Chain A
Amino acid sequence: MKFQTSEAFYKSLFDNMTDGLAYCQMIFDVQEKPVDFIYKRVNKNFEKLMGLKDVIGKKVTKVIPGIKASNPELFEIYGQVSLTGKPKEFEAYIEPLSIWLLVSVYSPQKKFFVTLFQNITKRKKIEKDLENARIASQNVLEDLSVEKSKTEIAKAKDEAILSSIGDGIIATGPDGKIIVMNKVAEKLLGWKVEEAMGKLYNEVISLEDEKGTLVPLEERPLTKAFTQSTTTTTTTTTTTNILHLLSKNKIKFPVVITASPVVLDNKIIGAVEVFRDITKEREIDKAKTEFVSLASHQLRTPLTTVSWYTEMILKGDVGKVIPDQKKYLKEIYQGNKRMIELVNTLLNVSRLELGTFNANPQPTDAIAIAKSVLDEQKPNIEKKKLVMVENLSKDIPIFSTDPKLLRMVFQNILSNAVEYTAPSGRIELTVSCDTKTVAIKVSDTGYGIPKNQQSQIFTKLFRADNVRAKDTDGTGLGLYITKSVVENSGGKIWFESEENKGSTFYVTLPMDGVKKKEGAA
C-alpha cells in the first residue's frame, strides 16, 4: 500500500493500531483541579475496546457515567500529565464498563493528553485466577502443614501412650517379627527394644505352663491370633492354667496374656499381645486359698462337735431323753446341720472362684445318685405333699464324671423344685440319654421365676423377688454353683419358667468323660 501523504499514513496507523487511542482535552475548575476531559479524537479500536460510540466532543462524565466515582485517580493522573507533560503508564479497572485497561498517557501540549490503552481484562482475569489458585494452594499447604504437625504430635503422643502403658505390649507383623515393644515389655522380658525389633516373636518369647513345660508354638495365644484370628485371653484366677513367661536371663514369672489379630481392611496385618505380671495377684490368691482352707477347718471343727454330741444325746447314748428335750435337741441338730451346709456352700463358691474345684471323674451311676438325692428330699416332699414323678431311664450307662459334682447338680435343682413349689404341687424328674450326653430335666408347678429376673437367675447371691418374699433362707448361691459345676464339666444348663406356673430346668452333661481338673488345696 502506498500513502499519498504522511497525514494519510498516520491516519492509517492511527486507525489500524490494535491499541485504543484517544486524544483529549483536560478541563480544570477554578482551583486548577482536573474535573473532566473531552474526547477530541479517538481511533477505531477505541470504540471497539471501550464499547463506546460517538464520543467526539463529549465529556467523559457524559460518555461513561459514574467514572468519576469509580476512577477518581484517572482525572488526577490525566490532569497531572496534561500539566507536567510527564508520561505515565498504569493499570485501571473501569467499573462502569467492567474492563481492565493498561493505559499509557502523555501530553502533546499543555492541558491536552493522549491515552493509549489495551484491554487487559482477560489477562487480569487469568492473573486473578492464578492468584486465587495460589492462595488456595497456599491455604492447602498451610492446612497440610498444620495437619502434618498435628499428625506428628498425635503420633508422638500415641507412641508415648503405647510405651507408657503399664502392661507389656508386643506387636508383630504378619511374618511374626516384632515391630512394636513397649517399656514394660522391655523391663519384664529383659530384652532391649532395639535388640528385639525385627526378631521373630518366638525367638524372644518363651512361654511355659505351670509345670514348666514349654507351650508349643501352635498353642501360643499369639499364634492363635494368626491361625484362628481370635483374641485369646489366658486365665488369671485358676491356679492350674497360669502361663509363665521367661525373661532373657531365664527369670520366670506368671502372666496373663491377651493376644489379638491386628485387622486392617479385613486383612490380618499382624498381631498384638498384651501381658501382665501377675505375681502379686497370685500371692493374694494363695493367701485367699490358705484363708479358705483355714476357715474350713476352723469352722467345721466346732460344728462337728455340736453335731456329734447332739447326735449321741438324741440317740440316748448318754441317758434317756424326754420327748420335749428330744424336740429341742432335734432343732439344735437341724440348725447345726444347716450351718454345716452353709459353710460347705461358701467353701464351694470359694473353690469355684479360686479354680480349686477338683473334678475327679470316675465311673458313675447317674441314676443311683438321682435316687439317693430323691431319698434325701423325701421328708420335705412328704411334708409338702408334693407329687414326685420319676422318669429314670434304664438305659443310662455308667459313664465317667465326678459323682460328687453330679450329686451337687441333682441336689441343687431338685431341692429348688421342692423348696419353691407350693404344697400339693407336682415335680417331675427325668433322666435320659443319647449316645453322647446325659440329660436331666426337673420341672415343677412352683412359683416360677419372674420374666424380668430370669437373666439374673444364675448370678451369684441373686434371689428372685417372689421367692425372697416367701422364703428367707436361700443363699442365692445354689444355681450359681450349679451352673459353674455343669459348665466346668463341659455341660449346659438352661431353664424355662413362668411365674406362678412353674419352672423346668435342663442340664446336659457329656458322657465322654469330664476332664480331670486339678486344683490346689
Chain B
Amino acid sequence: MANEPKNNKKILVIEEVEDDASLRKVLHDKFVLEGFNVLEAKNGKEGLATALQEHPDLILLDIAMPKMDGLAMMKKLRETDEWGKNVPIILLTNLNADNDKIIKEITDNQPAYYLVKSDSSIEDLVEKIRERLSRQY
C-alpha cells in the first residue's frame, strides 16, 4: 500500500456542502492512499485562495447546487492568471448529467471535466485524475 506521496501531485478537493463532509473525507483518504498530496477547502472562497496560493496540479470541485458556487469559482479562477487559466478542473455533481449550464461552463472553461458522483465509483475518479495528470495540457 502506497502511503508516502510517490508522485507529489497536489490535488485540491473542494466540497462545499455541509453534509458532504463524509464524501470529502473518503476522497481525502483515497487520494492519500493513492499517493497524492491532498489539499482541502470547504467552500468556493476558501478554495480559490488555497488554489492561488498552492497551485495544485488538479482541482476537484463540487458544484454545490442550487447556488452553483462551484461554477462561479471556476470562472473566477480562469480569470486570475495564466496558471488559473490552465489548471485542470474536475467538476463533481449529483445533478443531471446533461445540465445545459454545466455543460456550457465546461466548454467555456477548458480544461474541465465532469462526473456525476453517484454514477461513478471512487476508482473511476482516481483513474480519471491519473489519466488527466499524466497528460501535458
Contacts and interface: CB of A to CB of B under 8 A. Distances in A.
B94 A309 contact: no
Contact of B23 (A304, A360, A519): A304
Interface in B41-96: 65-66, 94-96
Nearest to B22: A305
Nearest to B21: A305
A303 B123 CA distance: 16
For A296, A340, A356, which residue has the most chain B Cβ atoms within 10 angstroms? A296
Contacts of A300: 94, 116-118
Contact of B30 (A297, A304, A317): A317
A344 interface: yes
A297 B94 CA distance: 5
Contacts of B1: 317
B103 A360 contact: yes
Contacts of B133: none
Contacts of B119: 340, 344
Nearest to B64: A297
Interface string A12-25: 00000000000000
Contacts of A246: none
Contact of B95 (A297, A303, A307, A315): A297
Given A293-B66, A297-B65, A360-B103, A304 B118 contact: yes
A518 B96 contact: no
B94 A301 contact: yes
Contacts of B103: 358, 360
A317 B100 contact: no
B94 A357 contact: no
B99 interface: yes
A126 interface: no
Contacts of B33: 317
Given A296-B96, A358-B100, A360-B103, A301 B117 contact: yes
B25 to A, nearest CB: 9
Contact of A358 (B27, B98, B121): B98
Given A360-B103, A518-B100, A308 B26 contact: yes
Contacts of A518: 100
B101 interface: yes
A521 B121 contact: no
Nearest to B30: A312
Contacts of A347: 96
A351 interface: yes
Nearest to B1: A317
A290 B66 CA distance: 9
A308 B98 contact: no
A309 B101 contact: no
B119 to A, nearest CB: 7
B29 A304 contact: no
Contact of B97 (A305, A308, A404, A519): A404
A269 to B, nearest CB: 45
Interface string A312-354: 1001011000000000000000000000100110010001000
Interface string A281-307: 000000000100110110011011101
10 A-B pairs closest in CB distance: A300-B94, A300-B118, A358-B98, A304-B117, A308-B122, A304-B118, A340-B118, A308-B26, A297-B94, A305-B22
